[in-house]
Amino acid sequence: MSDKATILKKAEFNPKLKTYLVIYTLFVLFTTVIGILFIPFWAVLAPIFTRKYYDRLECELTTRSLRFKKGFIFLTEKTIPLDKIQDLTFKEGPLLKKLGLSILKIETAGNSAQASADLTLIGIVNAHEFRSMVFDQRDKVTDNQSGSSSSENESMTEILSDIRDSLNRIEKHLSE
C-alpha cells in the first residue's frame, strides 16, 4: 500500500451546468417569500458565481479512491475510498433532461443513518461511462482485498491453533 494511487480518469463537467445552477437557484428564490427580494441581486451576480464555481469543479477517479473538489466561497474536497462505495444512482428531473444533464449520487457503506448521499455530482459528461469505470475499479480493489484477506485468515488460523495447542498442554500439566 505504499505505492501512490494513479489517476485513471478526470471527469469533465458539462458547461450547461452553469445554466442549471442559475435556473435552479432562481426557482428556489422564487418559491420563498424572502428569496423573492434577492432575485435582482442573483440576476446580477449569478454569472460571476456560477463561472467561478464551474471553474473549480474537479472529480478524479484514482486506483484507490474517488476525489471531488468544488466551491467558490467555501471550498469542499472529499475523497471516498472505492471499497466503501455501495451504490451510484442517477437522477434526472425535467430541467436536467432539458439541459442534457444528470445527477450522480454516490452512497457509501455506513451512511444508512443519513438521508442523503455522501457525494452528489451534477453535470458529468458521459456520466454512465464514468459510473461504469468507478464500479469496475471498485471491483478490482475489493477483489484484491479479498485475496489478501484469505491469506491473512490462514495465518490467523495457524496462530490460533498454536495458542489452542499451548493451552491444551498447560491444562494437561495443571491436571497432573
The beta-strand segments (E) located in the chain are: 7-10, 58-62, 65-70, 76-81, 85-91, 103-108, 119-122
Q: What is the pLDDT of residues 147-161, one digit of tens each?
A: 555 666 777 888 888
Does a structural domain hold residue 82? yes
Long-range contacts, 145-148 (Cβ 8 Å, 24+): 145/83
Does a structural domain hold residue 61? yes
- Is the pLDDT at 57 greater than 90, yes or no? yes
Q: How far apart are alpha carbons 102 and 35 in whole angstroms?
A: 26
What is the domain range of residue 147?
Answer: 7-175
Q: What is the pLDDT of residue 147?
A: 59
∠ CA 58-140-137, nearest 5°, is: 20
For residues 129-164, one letter each, b for 16 or more C-beta atoms within 10 angstroms of the residue's C-beta and e for the rest, the string is: ebbeebeebbeebeeeeeeeeeeeeeeeeeeeeeee
Q: What is the pLDDT of residue 111?
A: 57
- 169 phi and psi angles, rounded to 5 deg: -65, -40
Q: What is the pLDDT of residues 68-106, one digit of tens each?
A: 999 888 899 999 999 888 888 889 889 999 999 999 999
Query: What is this structure's pTM?
Result: 0.72
Torsion 77-81-84-88 (CA) sign? positive
Does a structural domain hold residue 166? yes
Count up the domains in the chain and report the number.
1
Does a structural domain hold residue 2? no
- 93 phi and psi angles, rounded to 5 deg: -105, 180
State the CATH number of the domain containing residue 152.
Answer: 2.30.29.30
Does a structural domain hold residue 168? yes
